[in-house]
Each structure stands twice: as structure tokens, then as C-alpha cells.
Amino acid sequence: MSGQVALVTGGTRGLGLAISKRLMARGVTVAAGYSTNAEAAKRFLDDHAEHDVTVHQGDIGSAEDCARIGAEVLEQHGRLNILVNNAAMTLDKTMRNMTPAEWDQVVRVNLSGAFYLTRTVLPQMLERRYGRIVNISSIIGETGAFGQTNYAAAKSGLFGLTMSLALEVARKNITVNTVTPGLIMTDMTAAVPALAMEKILARIPVGRPAEPDEVARLVEFLADPESAYITGQVYAVNGGMHM
């Protein structure tokens, strides 16, 4: 994978950071997207100064920002071989209390953002007849969750996007797959109250959350040139929580 360029949205922390590190270890140049956390972006650059990395700020829920980010990466690196649509957000409320704006914002970032960014970088992948696109969904897209109709709808929407796009680009040596994590140990899950975490863990057969790297290794596998015969698939990494 040495010499390839990857854009990882939300790539400076959490699961995105683990994915970025996995790809960097394989010699991939990583362009990491971030939204508002400039401190994490600076830390990412400082911590990985020995690698060829760049950071790109923008709102993935904005078609204009996605077009700009894609253009920045292509201008700075000359190509884009791997796209990991990882950036996501939550605004949890029951549907009765959820506003249209809260619905729209989550769907825009978690689903439309993957469309915006993929559409931006796809032409050069088609021209080069090569690409690896990995969408990061969630177990919630398969099971649903109380108070997460917006998040669940967006994350399950990635399944249809993945399969349909895979059909469109398969003959061009471009693969499109989805990874669907369960509970991952990140800053977000660390904030879950202890009692709620106990209940979640009781539902996981292996009895613990995943480490981010346990999910990132599957993304690395799907992004590998040798994974050319795998496309249009949804892969769960959830410790048996949903089968």
C-alpha cells in the first residue's frame, strides 16, 4: 500500500485515528479530516510528523466543504486511492421530541456526507481505474436504538449506498464496503454513565467493548489492493452483540 493516499474523515481522533495509524503503518499518506477540534488536529500532525500526513478542516454535512476538502487533497497529494467515510455525530432524542433540524443535521453528516465526499473524489478514481471506499456504519443501523431514529436511519442508509455504488463502479476496479462496529472504547463511550455501560456490556457475548484498532484492522484489510474481489459487503465487528 506504500505510495497510496487515503482521506479519512474524522481521522484525527477515536476510531478515525486508529484507522489513520493503521494506514500510515502500511506506508499510506493520510489526509485526515476534522470538523472543529483544532487541538486534536494539531496533536495529530505533531505526533505523526515522521509520516506524510495532512489535516483538512470542514463540515462533512456540507456539499461545498466536501468539494473543497476533496480538491485540497488532490491538489496537495496528486491522487486519492482510499476514502474512509468515518465522520459521524449524534443528537439523541425520542422522535416525539426531535426537531426537523436535529433530524436533518444527523442525516446530513452521517449519510449525506458520505455521498458528498464520495461524489467529489470518485471521478479521479474512475479515471485511474482504481479505488477503495470504506464506509463506517454502526450496529445501531442494524438494530435501532431508543432515542436514535436519526442516527439509526443514517447509518442504515449507508448499507444501500454501499451496495448500489459497488454495482456502479465494480468494473473500474473500485470496491465499496461498509464496516459496522458495535461498542468501541472511545472518548464518546467513556462518557456513558456506569449503569448504562453495565447494561450494554451484558448484551455483548465477549463481555467488553472493542478497542478502536480491532475495527481499524478490518478497514485496513478492505483498503488493501489485494482485497479487489470484495465489494458491496457489510462487515460487523461487534463481539457477537448482533448476529
Active site (catalytic) residues: 151
The b-or-e profile of 57-76 (16+ CB within 10 A means b, else e) is ebbbbbbebbbebbebbbee
The C-alpha atoms of residue 29 and residue 40 are separated, in whole angstroms, by: 18
Q: Is 39 exposed, middle or buried (0-12, 13-18, 19+ CB in 10 A)?
A: exposed
Q: Angle, to 10 degrees, between the axis of helix 149-169 and the axis of helix 113-128? A: 10
CB 23 within 8 A of CB 35: no
The C-alpha atoms of residue 204 and residue 240 are separated, in whole angstroms, by: 6
Q: Is 98 exposed, middle or buried (0-12, 13-18, 19+ CB in 10 A)?
A: middle
